[in-house]
Structure 1
Amino acid sequence: MSEPFALLDNQKHADVKFTAPKYAHVADQHMLPVSLHELLYAAVDVPVVFIKNKEADEYQAVMMLGLKPNQNLLVKGEEWQGNYIPNVLRDFPLTVVLNPEHKDKVWVGLREESTQISKEEGEPLFANGEETEFLKNRREALLKHFEQDQQSRAILGYLASKGLLTAQTLTVEVKGQPRNINGIYLIDERKLASLSDEEFLDLRKRGLLGPIYSHLTSLNQIPRLVQLEDALA
């Protein structure tokens, strides 16, 4: 989802409307980011694991949508086949734009090449130069999701500082052939169990036990992805 974007503008985009969501633009993405606030919902659908941006030294929770790069087993044509639609797709084609010179401010961008944009039909973004209720609601949700994502990065940094995130290689068997999935991090259950009572209580007070156990439970969805790939012609 790296399409170019422009800052949302009530004059430039006065005639822009949003049509019903389509998902072909992520058909080749085997992972999509989620916040920890979404983990409970995403975990009932697919495995949720963590990846690391080594340059920024940050961790990100992601939904695993395929078992190899460029494979999304939850998109068929333009339709989403999963039960939970992550915020990153709900917000599209809007995006948060950061300016390094104004770190206390964010802007809203629009991916102008999206197939969800029309001038003939759909929900209008502006009316008489003012934001419609539709756009106000979309903007509010976008900024809320951005804040949740920032909180999640900080929380994952905390979990990493406790040694709870460890690099793992998952080995699955697809159509009779073993396949290794590298570059992911999981909660280390042994280290979780070895925490002191004080440390474990701190996780509970921070509200982190729910996301942790949702992540661990979600790993039971790996066989579902195997079945989906096995079913491909």
Structure 2
Amino acid sequence: MTKHQILNNSDHLDLRVRTDIGVAYGDNVMACLTVPPEFLQVQGHFPIVFRRDFESDKLSALALFGFENGENLFLEGDRWDARYRPLALAIQPFLIGRSATDGADSQVHVDMGHPRISQSGEGTRVFDENGMPTPYLEAIAEKLGDLDQGYRESTDFFAALERYELLEPFTLEVPLNDGSKHSLVGFQTIDERRLAALEGEALGALHAQGYLLPIFMALASVAQFSELVARKNARVAGG
């Protein structure tokens, strides 16, 4: 159960956060949000897929870690088996909050109901004894800023993908070595044929907006599905 509070050094002076890796800390997720500015880092490890929310009709981009809910094939006990950890995971249990006042600055919130909140006095301090941010909090604040900026920019990026019809429905049938099969449905990927068919004016516009690089990174990330299948086969074989 979430319990969001505005982070401050009065209420949270003694707050400690568990920075360990593991199921107990909420790392057993199939996917997490990713934003276009980090596609370059994400594509080297995880497939990037797009999903439309049927209620809001809004698109989002996801870094994929597994094939079913609760499955993270990059989670090896207490170890994260990749050289990059997407921002949306790396900042937990913190998040950006918005004030109801238009134009007000974003606020750092903390989810006091998150499993990373230490209940035992162990973990990394958020503020020091004098109420000053620790290096840990400073690093988190930088990641939060990057994630927030990327999230703000993603609306126009998604609009460009739709304007040039660069998304296509994606279905993946995953036959495993033990004879079982998994189906991945409900996502979209970059349509390589439509991208290749774009004329110079469209390519120039996408380049001017800084969208060509994340588009190509999302397209390149599809190659990571073979690694994801290999991880799944290894997990199945290991019981």
Q: TM-score range by the shorter chain?
A: 0.7 to 0.9
Pick closer, same or farther for the CA change 1:210–1:16 going to 2, 3 Å: same
How far apart, CA to CA, are the structure 1 residues paired with 2:15 and 2:195? 50
Pick closer, same or farther for the CA change 1:121–1:49 going to 2, 3 Å: closer
The code of the aligned residue for 1:166 comes to E
The code of the aligned residue for 1:219 comes to V
- Once the two structures are overlaid, the 10-residue window that deviates more, 110-119 or 166-175, is 110-119
How far apart, CA to CA, are the structure 1 residues paired with 2:38 and 2:123? 31
How far apart, CA to CA, are the structure 1 residues paired with 2:7 and 2:199? 49
Match of residue 19 from structure 2: 20
How far apart, CA to CA, are the structure 2 residues paired with 1:138 and 1:127? 19
Residues 138-177 of structure 1 correspond to what in structure 2 (within 5 A)?
138-175=140-177, 176-177=179-180
How far apart, CA to CA, are the structure 2 residues paired with 1:73 and 1:227? 10
Match of residue 223 from structure 1: 226
How far apart, CA to CA, are the structure 2 residues paired with 1:122 and 1:169? 42
The code of the aligned residue for 2:32 comes to L
How far apart, CA to CA, are the structure 2 residues paired with 1:189 and 1:82? 27
How far apart, CA to CA, are the structure 2 residues paired with 1:41 and 1:152? 16
- Once the two structures are overlaid, the 10-residue window that deviates more, 146-155 or 167-176, is 167-176
1:30 equivalent to 2:30? Answer yes
How far apart, CA to CA, are the structure 1 residues paired with 2:129 and 2:101? 29
Q: TM-score, normalised by structure 1?
A: 0.88
Q: How far has the Cα of 1:216 moved from its partner? A: 1.4
1:186 equivalent to 2:189? Answer yes
Q: How far has the Cα of 1:129 moved from its partner? A: 3.8
Identity of aligned residues (%): 25
Contact 2:19/2:116 (8 A) holds in 1: no
- Once the two structures are overlaid, the 10-residue window that deviates more, 75-84 or 57-66, is 75-84
- Once the two structures are overlaid, the 10-residue window that deviates more, 186-195 or 114-123, is 114-123
How far apart, CA to CA, are the structure 1 residues paired with 2:215 and 2:191? 10
Contact 2:19/2:123 (8 A) holds in 1: no
Q: TM-score, normalised by structure 2?
A: 0.86
Match of residue 206 from structure 1: 209
Pick closer, same or farther for the CA change 1:121–1:23 going to 2, 3 Å: closer
Alignment deviations for residues 153-174 of structure 1 (CA, whole Å, 9 cap, x no partner): 3211221122111222122212
How far apart, CA to CA, are the structure 1 residues paired with 2:139 and 2:46? 28
How far apart, CA to CA, are the structure 1 residues paired with 2:22 and 2:206? 36
Pick closer, same or farther for the CA change 1:16–1:174 going to 2, 3 Å: same
How far apart, CA to CA, are the structure 1 residues paired with 2:82 and 2:2? 23
Alignment deviations for residues 161-216 of structure 1 (CA, whole Å, 9 cap, x no partner): 22111222122212333432111011111211222221111112222222112111
More strand by share: 1
Which stretches in structure 1 are left out of the alignment for 5+ residues? none
Q: For 2:46, what is the secondary structure of its paired residue?
A: coil
Pick closer, same or farther for the CA change 1:144–1:225 going to 2, 3 Å: closer
Pick closer, same or farther for the CA change 1:127–1:144 going to 2, 3 Å: farther
Alignment deviations for residues 53-84 of structure 1 (CA, whole Å, 9 cap, x no partner): 23222211111100122211111223211221
Residues 41-120 of structure 1 correspond to what in structure 2 (within 5 A)?
41-99=41-99, 101-105=100-104, 106-113=106-113, 114-117=115-118, 119-120=121-122
